[in-house]
Amino acid sequence: VTIEAGRPLVGLGQGLTPSGDDLLVGLTAALTALGQPIARPLAAAWATDAERGTGLVARTFHRNAAVGEYTERMHTLMASILAGPASGIDTAVRRAADWGASSGGDTLVGVVAAFSGIQA
């Protein structure tokens, strides 16, 4: 994962919070939960782009990500993923996916990208 790879996604896609922004925030949320030091610089770089590159709501999510802050929904999801299979991952994923029209799904794509990137 590189800063450059994420840049074109800022402000891209449908919805009040464009899909690309949701994905990027999900990605850095997962990287943060996994203790990856790269999470913060990535989030900070994309947050800078987001200042001019996306709408107010998505920009706010980016700003918070840049200082390592995520929604309670994301925290619950990460906690249950990291706790292992017996911890109600299904429910947490379902709740995360339930957010907005497509934002939940878009965010989960970012989460999956983070996990598969780390495993590879």
Residues that bind another protein (CB under 8 A): 8-18, 20, 52-59, 91, 94-95, 97-105
Q: How far is the CB of 41 from another protein (least distance, A)?
A: 21
Q: From CA 99, how far away is CA 94, in angstroms rounded?
A: 9
Q: How far is the CB of 30 from another protein (least distance, A)?
A: 19
Q: Which residue lies nearer to another protein by CB, 22 or 28?
A: 22
Q: How far is the CB of 71 from another protein (least distance, A)?
A: 12
Compute CA 23 distance to the chain's CA centroid, rounded to the nearest angstrom: 5
Report which of 37, 120, 43, 46 is spatially closest to residue 74, judged by C-alpha positions.
43
Q: From CA 18, how far away is CA 16, in angstroms rounded?
A: 6
Q: Which residue lies nearer to another protein by CB, 34 or 112?
A: 112
